[in-house]
Amino acid sequence: MPAKNPVKLTVSDFIHNRVVIEELESLKKTFDPAASGGKPLIVSDVLDAEGHQYVNLVQKGGGVFGIALVGYTYILEEMGIRFLRLAGTSAGAINTALMTVIKNKSDKKSAEVLQAICDLDFFSLVDGHPAARTLIKNFITRKNYIDKAKNKLLVVLAAFALLIAGDVVLVGLSSKYPALYVWTGICFILSGFLSLVLGIGISYVIDLFKRLKNSGYGINPGDVFYDWIKRLLLENQVATVSDLNRKAAICPALQLRVPNQSGLEELKGDVTFIASELVTQNKIQFPAMCSLFRTDVDTLSPAGFIRASMSIPLFFESYMINDIPADDIRIKDAWKKFFGITQPPSTARFVDGGILSNFPISIFFNANVTVPRLPSFGIDLDDSKPADKQENAFSWSLTGYFGRMFNTIRNYYDKDFLLKNEVYQRGVGKVDLSSDQYNWLNFFLSDKDKIDMFVLGAKAACEFLRTFDWDTYKNDRTDLQIQLKK
């Protein structure tokens, strides 16, 4: 179980933040019919008996930026919005999981999610070799650490080269000048000592790379995270896949604000976590695709789905599902149905779902519904740094170059869907986390940074709700569906 923070944050530190209170009060006044010019907030035609409005929600991946997701959903909940279908990747999968299992669909969940954040020592999630933990911490928290480390290494190598050169020169001169024998000996001792240090260092690095290979090319096992999320699921009576599906599906009695020919019969809740499977190179949707790996899906761990979704390559070890009964006809049928694969693998290896779909809003697309009954909301985390937004391709830093390459891969699939179905973009709110102050892998966040991220998420949600127009969204979605059917 993760250790608790030395100075423990409280839920109140987040929700009673001055900016959050002011933003929420202003938003409520905007949609208060009793206020001057106020109008009721309408974001959906699906309601429960208490007047909560239901939407589908997808949450983007982004490491520790997941705290901003909680700020965003906190505002939505405070404004009476609830979530029918939920989906998320990586950090988005974590908040999606907690919002699925905590309490009932009609209840607010943010306080409990925030409590889990307050109780968690983020650095405990970096549970790899001590040397790796130190390297990661220095790399993330110390500015220009790589450049400084490189300069130190160059100094050491230069010193080693000078000592070797000194050995050669002094050996030659000492035969003519016996007085130099002492300096020759000292030079040999120093070069020998430095050779020993470099040899040990190289051997240690080689050993670390062997460890990395043997551990599935991941610096951190991810065991602490798995135990943490599993405990939270168990505390909310979710031990099996069936428990998870039951929690996701249970809804209060729903009603329509206005008549809709599609009715409410097939409208029900579910949850989806996205993971990338490397053996067959496919996008996996948990728990919907559990039949690919087990004939009895309850032998799989729901905590493993979230662990698979957030397996950041190199940072965390891959998540594995072993001993797949690949010769069982039911397993074969499942692989053929989903992917056209006739010979299933006996082992599946998962990395971060964001590799293939970091913002899986496409799973909410329903071609059978002409007039939408509820919108699909999305929370987009914009973590592109100012220096990496430069259009001049020759001015990018090395990290900027790899950052753009990684973002191109992980965002293309979802971006392609939004380009073809632009109306869905109107349901997406964006949280600006592009400041150099923030790093999505910074598991050493200060309490202030955590609160600041929550505030950014809350402000983004307020801005989104002020501009979202349900009637326009509904009409445009209807037009899109009609065009697609034609």
pLDDT along the chain (486 residues), means of 10: 62 96 95 80 96 97 91 98 96 96 96 94 82 67 61 74 76 74 78 80 70 70 94 97 96 94 90 96 96 97 96 88 96 96 95 90 89 96 64 62 66 77 92 79 85 96 97 92 78
Specify the pLDDT at position 387: 52
* 296 has catalytic annotation: no
pTM: 0.84
Domain 11-125+222-271+359-485 class in CATH: alpha beta
| Main-chain dihedrals φ then ψ at residue 284, nearest 5 degrees | -110, 135
Closest to 27 measured CA to CA, from 64, 75, 92, 71:
75
Strands (E), 353-447: 376-382, 428-432
Residue type, 410: R
Q: What gap in Å lies between CA 274 and CA 344, rounded to an integer? A: 19
Tokens representing 16?
């009673």
* 242 has catalytic annotation: no
Q: With left for phi above 0 and alpha for psi between -120 and 50, is residue 11 left, alpha or beta?
A: alpha
Specify the pLDDT at position 1: 45
Identified catalytic residue from 44, 45, 110, 352: 352
Identified catalytic residue from 44, 45, 90, 414: 90
Name the residue ranges covered by the structural domains of the chain.
11-125+222-271+359-485, 130-215
CB 372 within 8 A of CB 474: yes
Tokens representing 280?
């067959």
